[in-house]
């Protein structure tokens, strides 16, 4: 049985923002050295991916998606969740997601497969992940709906 109090749109949103905050902490720590950057790469990208997943699902839940749909249809597919949010045509939020869809697609290659190998990311992806910081700051924009 699913505890509905943990899957309300507001709770999902809050959980996603907490994951963004944790990713920011790791990114700040990783700036100290290349060794730290490589060691913290997987946890950082996972937190970013999970934060994006949960905040997108919060929006979808608020706009009528069932828990069953989120868990069994969308699952961990960031692309699917992002496309659905864009289709909702919500003022600032859908536009924001649409403008950052390329970053979501890049991360989704690894996140949806739950790849635990940072070797799969490569150094180019490491640099892109750093630029993914826009999503860690994006939560301030996304919190318009919080």
| Closest-CA residue to 15 (of 98, 141, 139) | 139
Tens digit of pLDDT for each residue in 87-115? Answer: 999 878 888 888 888 888 888 887 877 65
Tell me what pLDDT residue 125 has: 53
| Closest-CA residue to 98 (of 83, 110, 109, 114) | 83
Spatial separation of the C-alpha atoms in residues 48 and 45, rounded to whole Å: 5
Average pLDDT of the chain to the nearest whole number: 78
The larger pLDDT score, comparing residue 91 to residue 121, is at 91
Q: What's the alpha-carbon Rg for the chain, to the nearest Å?
A: 15
The total number of structural domains in the chain stands at 1
**Domain region containing 101:** 4-145
């Amino acid at each position: 049985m699913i505890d509905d109090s943990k899957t309300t749109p507001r709770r999902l949103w809050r959980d996603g923002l907490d994951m963004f905050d944790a990713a920011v902490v790791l990114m700040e720590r990783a700036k100290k050295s290349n060794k730290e950057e490589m060691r913290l790469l997987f946890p950082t990208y996972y937190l970013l991916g999970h934060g994006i997943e949960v905040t997108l699902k919060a929006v979808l839940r608020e706009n009528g998606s069932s828990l069953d749909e989120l868990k069994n249809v969308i699952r961990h597919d960031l692309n699917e969740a992002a496309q659905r949010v864009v289709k909702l045509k919500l003022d600032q939020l859908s536009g924001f997601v649409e403008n950052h869809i390329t970053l979501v697609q890049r991360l989704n290659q690894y996140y949806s497969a739950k790849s635990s190998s940072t070797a799969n990311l490569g150094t180019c992806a490491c640099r892109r992940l750093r630029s993914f910081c826009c999503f860690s700051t994006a939560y301030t924009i996304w919190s318009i709906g919080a």
